[in-house]
A = this chain, B = another copy of it.
C-alpha cells in the first residue's frame, strides 16, 4: 500500500474508507487481495447496475477484442457504434416513444453535462441554468457551477457563475408551495433572475443524499419549463439504466425531458462512456462544435448494446428492481424504527435507497462498521449523513437480505459509538 501513499495524489478518497487492495469481482461481490469477499452495495457509484463482470457481457467483450475489431475510432462510424445506436433505438427509445438524437460527448458524465449545458445555451441564446439544492453534476467547471456541494465548488478556485440554485422537492419541508419561488422569479421582470436557458435536475439526488423528487413535482417542473421556454435537462447519470426501476428514472413521472445525460451504467461493464440525448428539433450543433478524444469507445458500445438486449428487451428487470426496492425499503424501515424516529429515517426509490442518521458522523461510522463486517456502502448528503445503498440490480434477494442484516448490525454499532466526528 506504500506505493499508493507515495505516488498517488492526496485527492484520493474512497481508498481512505476502505483501506484494502481489491483485485477480483463477480456479480455483487468484490474481493481484496487476501481473498476476503465484500458484498458490494455501492456498485461503482451506480456504474455497475448489472453487477461486476457480468459473464455474458464479458463474453461479448472478449470476443470483440479477440477479433481485432476496432477499439478507438473517435467519432468515425464503426460497426459497434451502429449496433449500439440501433439497439438503443429499438430497445430503449422506440418502445418509450422517445425521439432523441444521441450525442457521444466524451467518456465521462461531466462531458455529457457540459455538452447539455452548451447546447441549451446555444439553442436558447440565454446563459443562466437553474440547478437545485444538493444537485450533483460533475467536477468540470461548467458542471460544477450547477453542483451544490460547497467543498467541491470551492475547489474551482474561481467564482462559479451563469447558474442559480432553487429548492429541490421537499427542500423546505412543505412550508412553501412547490415552485412558488421559481415561478415568482420567472414571472417578475424585477426579480433579478435573468431568463434561464434551462433547468438541470436529478429525479433522485444520489450524491445529495438520496433525495427523491415526486412524480408530481417533476411534472410541475416540466410545466414551468414549458411555460418559460426553458429546456428541461434530466441528469440521469446515476439514476438511469434502471436504477429506480424503469430504464430512465423520469419515466415514472410521465415527463419527457428535452435533454437527458447518461453515463455510469450505460456501458454495462464499468467502462467509461457517456451520452447526451437531445430532442430531435434541439439538435442545433455544428459538426465538431463539441468534441473529445474518447467519444467512440467501441468496447463500451459492445457491452452497452448487449446489456440492452439482455436486460431491456422486456420489463422483467424493471419489475424485479421495483420488488427488490420494496424489500430494501422494508428492511431499512425496520432498522430506522429500531433506532427511533429521532435518530433515523428512510428515503429512496427502486434500488437507490438511503438510511438517514441524524446524529453527526453516525452514517460515517455505520459505513466503517459495515466495511468491517464485509459490506461496502457509501455515505452521501451535504454532511455525509446518509448511508447510501446502490446495490447492483442483479443482486439476489438473498444477497440483499444478507447485506441488510449486516447493515442493521452496523447501524446498531454506530449508535453505540461514543463520538461520531
A287 touches B13 (CB 8 A): yes
Binding-face segment, A59-67, A319-327, A349-357 = A59-67
Contacts of A278 in B (CB 8 A): 9
Q: Is A121 an interface residue (CB 8 A)?
A: yes
Q: Which 8 pairs between the two chains have the least Cβ-Cβ distance?
A: A121-B157, A72-B270, A190-B382, A141-B142, A165-B192, A140-B140, A11-B285, A13-B288
CB-contact partner of A68 in B53, B77, B286, under 8 A: B53
Contact residues of A between 140 and 179, Cβ < 8 Å to B: 140-143, 145-165, 167, 171-172, 175-177
CA distance A130 to B365 in the complex (A): 37
Q: Is A1 an interface residue (CB 8 A)?
A: yes
Q: Is A52 an interface residue (CB 8 A)?
A: yes
Contacts of A237 in B (CB 8 A): 293
- Nearest-CB residue, chain B, relative to A145: B141
Contacts of A11 in B (CB 8 A): 103, 115, 283, 285-291
Contacts of A16 in B (CB 8 A): 287
- Nearest-CB residue, chain B, relative to A238: B293
Binding-face segment, A82-90, A332-340, A401-409 = A82-90
A89 touches B7 (CB 8 A): yes
Binding-face segment, A25-33, A222-230, A242-250 = A25-33
Q: Is A180 an interface residue (CB 8 A)?
A: yes
- Nearest-CB residue, chain B, relative to A113: B140
Q: Is A345 an interface residue (CB 8 A)?
A: no
Q: Is A23 an interface residue (CB 8 A)?
A: yes
Q: Is A96 an interface residue (CB 8 A)?
A: no
B271 touches A121 (CB 8 A): no
CA distance A22 to B70 in the complex (A): 7
A74 touches B44 (CB 8 A): yes
Q: What 0/1 readout, one digit per residue, does chain A (106-149) give for beta carbons within 8 Å of chain B?
A: 11111100110110111000011001111100111111011111
Interface magnitude class on chain A:
35 or more
- Nearest-CB residue, chain B, relative to A12: B75
Q: Is A360 an interface residue (CB 8 A)?
A: no
Q: What 0/1 readout, one digit per residue, does chain A (1-38) give for beta carbons within 8 Å of chain B?
A: 10110111111111110111111111000100100000
A111 touches B110 (CB 8 A): yes
Q: Is A71 an interface residue (CB 8 A)?
A: yes
CB-contact partner of A293 in B7, B109, B140, B188, under 8 A: B109
A52-B71, A75-B14, A110-B106 in contact; A175/B180 too (CB < 8 A)? Answer: yes
Minimum Cβ distance to chain B for residue A394 (Å): 15
A79-B21, A287-B10 in contact; A150/B189 too (CB < 8 A)? Answer: yes
A26 touches B68 (CB 8 A): yes
CB-contact partner of A71 in B155, B167, B270, B292, under 8 A: B270
CA distance A120 to B156 in the complex (A): 10
B289 touches A152 (CB 8 A): yes
Contacts of A71 in B (CB 8 A): 25, 52-53, 269-271
B162 touches A158 (CB 8 A): yes
Contacts of A185 in B (CB 8 A): 133, 165
B4 touches A77 (CB 8 A): yes
A-B contact list, 11 entries, CB within 8 Å: A4-B85, A25-B71, A106-B110, A107-B107, A107-B108, A108-B272, A117-B157, A141-B143, A152-B290, A165-B185, A175-B176
Q: Is A191 an interface residue (CB 8 A)?
A: yes
Q: What 0/1 readout, one digit per residue, does chain A (246-282) give for beta carbons within 8 Å of chain B?
A: 0000000000000000011000011110001010000
